[in-house]
């Protein structure tokens, strides 16, 4: 068979034809038959370089809901019934009303799938932070996000990744009692960071509004920032589903923004982590609040939510935070694999101030990947913790660490 005959006997001609049609015609063609549906949808996916949507689909979503982007094409499809990996990119969605409509479309797509394994939702906050948002729109957006996330978990998602998911977290702040200062806080050791932070915070019962829907106690110590649209600033948050613990199969959680650990998302996020068999966690602390009380509160709640995690990867941290993070890592007694990207240390001097004793005493670490400066400091602390000599398993560990670092370099 010649190349020309092969071209006419395949779907190539139809794909080229559909690719040149206006959007309304492509939609109409997708409803003619099963064959037309497959070809019309694939013509749109080809335009977005999505060759096998069921295996991997990176959906660059459009701000105009009428545009036929990858998400709209998959909603037209009657053949795509499961998704192994889907990446919802909302970078182009700069209008909040469009974002709300987009989240509803995403929820519809996920709800139609028989199964779902890995989901990445990238919702950059820059498009919304500097724009006024009414309470009604904020509540509508949070409801759309809540329905989407609950649907994702109900489909058996095992890996969930959030990118810049802090569009509205900046509207909440931690309450403090201005009459108290750090010098007035007792220095006696506390059972947790949260216990030590309570001295800074007022009682939820005395300062929370009476009409607030009883969120988790930590959420009760947050308040909405006042705006021109509301005086009372009502509490708005994502509410965890009562079936969360029954349906979740989440094993890997990745957060590229700490916004998911603050209201309005935190109540849902921590409920999910507590209910899920999470063993691997990837975190970025670059945008964690500068407020020391709140940053320690977030770290404390994370450690309490998933104490048995075995793999942690840190991909970024704001300057000066790693001292607290290293001490926090010592709380994960089941930790086996630790990866700290060199970018977490803004300067080499940051490593000199670390207190590595708690980390060096972790019993199960078998792989540690980081910068050479951190590895040397860790080995020194490990030797001190073991009484001046490295046991056999630590010598094997050092060999793996150095070979891993060489491979990364």
- pLDDT greater than 90 at residue 315: yes
Mean pLDDT calculated for residue range 235-245: 89
Closest-CA residue to 200 (of 186, 189, 210): 186
The pLDDT of residue 211 is 36
* Cβ neighbours around 203 below 10 Å, total: 13
- Which residue(s) pair with 230 in the sheet? 227
Residues 304 and 183 sit within 8 Å (Cβ to Cβ): no
Beta strand extents in 287-384 (DSSP E only): 311-317, 337-340, 367-369
Residues 82 and 56 sit within 8 Å (Cβ to Cβ): no
Q: What is the pLDDT of residues 263-282, one digit of tens each?
A: 999 999 999 999 999 999 99
How many C-alpha atoms does 13 have within 13 Å on its Cβ side? Answer: 8
Task: Give the span between the Cα atoms of 32 and 205, in whole angstroms.
Answer: 61
Task: Give the span between the Cα atoms of 200 and 176, in whole angstroms.
Answer: 6
Share of the chain above pLDDT 90, in %: 40
- pLDDT greater than 50 at residue 228: yes
Helix (H) or strand (E) holding 20, with range, is: none
Q: What is the pLDDT of residues 174-209, one digit of tens each?
A: 887 543 233 333 333 444 444 444 444 433 333 333
Q: What is the pLDDT of residues 51-92, one digit of tens each?
A: 999 999 999 998 887 788 999 999 999 999 999 999 999 988
Per DSSP, 260 falls in state G
The pLDDT of residue 352 is 73
Closest-CA residue to 45 (of 67, 14, 68): 68
- Cis omega (within 30 of 0) for bond into 270: no
Which residue is listed with tokens 């972790």? 362
Tokens of 196: 């030590």
Q: Whole-number mean pLDDT of the chain?
A: 80
Residues 153 and 250 sit within 8 Å (Cβ to Cβ): yes
Closest-CA residue to 44 (of 66, 64, 16): 16
Phi, psi dihedrals of residue 178, rounded to the nearest 5°: -65, -15
The pLDDT of residue 95 is 81
Greater pLDDT, 237 or 277: 277
Cβ contacts of residue 24 below 8 Å, gap of 6+?
A: none
Greater pLDDT, 309 or 355: 309
Q: Is 121 helix (H, G, I), strand (E, B) or coil?
A: strand
Helix axes 266-275, 135-154, angle to 10 degrees: 10
Mean pLDDT calculated for residue range 85-100: 89
Domain ranges for the chain = 1-80
Cβ contacts of residue 93 below 8 Å, gap of 6+?
A: 61, 62, 63, 99, 102, 127
Task: Give the span between the Cα atoms of 98 and 76, in whole angstroms.
Answer: 19
The pLDDT of residue 78 is 92
Phi, psi dihedrals of residue 260, rounded to the nearest 5°: -75, -10
The pLDDT of residue 195 is 45
- Which residue(s) pair with 369 in the sheet? 339
């Amino acid at each position: 068979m010649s190349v020309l005959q092969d071209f006419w006997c395949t779907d190539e001609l139809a794909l080229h034809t559909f690719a040149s049609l206006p959007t309304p015609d492509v939609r109409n063609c997708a409803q003619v038959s099963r064959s037309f549906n497959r070809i019309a949808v694939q013509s749109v996916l080809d335009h977005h370089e999505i060759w096998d949507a069921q295996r991997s689909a990176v959906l660059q979503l459009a701000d105009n809901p009428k545009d036929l982007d990858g998400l709209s094409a998959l909603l037209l499809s009657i053949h795509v019934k499961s998704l192994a990996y889907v990446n919802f990119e909302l970078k182009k969605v700069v209008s909040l009303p469009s974002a709300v409509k987009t989240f509803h479309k995403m929820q519809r797509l996920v709800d139609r799938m028989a199964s779902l394994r890995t989901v990445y939702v990238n919702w950059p906050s820059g498009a919304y932070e500097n724009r006024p948002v009414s309470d009604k729109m904020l509540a509508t957006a949070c409801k759309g996000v809540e329905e989407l996330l609950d649907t994702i978990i109900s489909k058996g998602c095992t890996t969930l990744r959030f990118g810049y998911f802090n569009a509205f977290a900046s509207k909440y702040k931690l309450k403090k009692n201005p009459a108290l200062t750090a010098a007035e806080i007792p220095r006696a050791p506390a059972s947790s960071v949260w216990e030590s932070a309570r001295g800074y915070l007022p009682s939820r019962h005395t300062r929370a509004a009476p009409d607030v829907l009883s969120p988790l106690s930590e959420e009760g110590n947050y308040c909405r920032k006042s705006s021109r649209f509301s005086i009372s600033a009502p509490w708005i948050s994502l509410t965890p589903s009562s079936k969360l613990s029954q349906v979740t199969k989440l094993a890997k959680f990745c957060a590229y923004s700490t916004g998911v650990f603050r209201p309005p998302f935190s109540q849902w996020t921590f409920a999910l982590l507590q209910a899920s068999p999470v063993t691997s966690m990837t975190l970025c602390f670059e945008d964690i609040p500068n407020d020391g009380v709140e940053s320690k509160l977030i770290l404390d709640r994370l450690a309490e939510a998933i104490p048995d995690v075995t793999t942690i990867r840190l991909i970024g941290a704001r300057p000066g935070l790693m001292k607290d993070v290293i001490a926090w890592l010592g709380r994960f007694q089941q930790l086996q694999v630790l990866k700290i990207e060199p970018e977490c240390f803004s300067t080499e001097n940051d490593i000199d101030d670390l207190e590595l004793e708690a980390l060096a005493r972790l019993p199960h670490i078998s792989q540690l990947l980081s910068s050479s400066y951190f590895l040397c400091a860790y080995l020194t602390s490990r030797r001190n913790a073991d009484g001046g000599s490295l046991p056999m398993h630590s010598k094997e560990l050092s060999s793996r660490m150095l070979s891993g670092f060489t491979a990364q370099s």
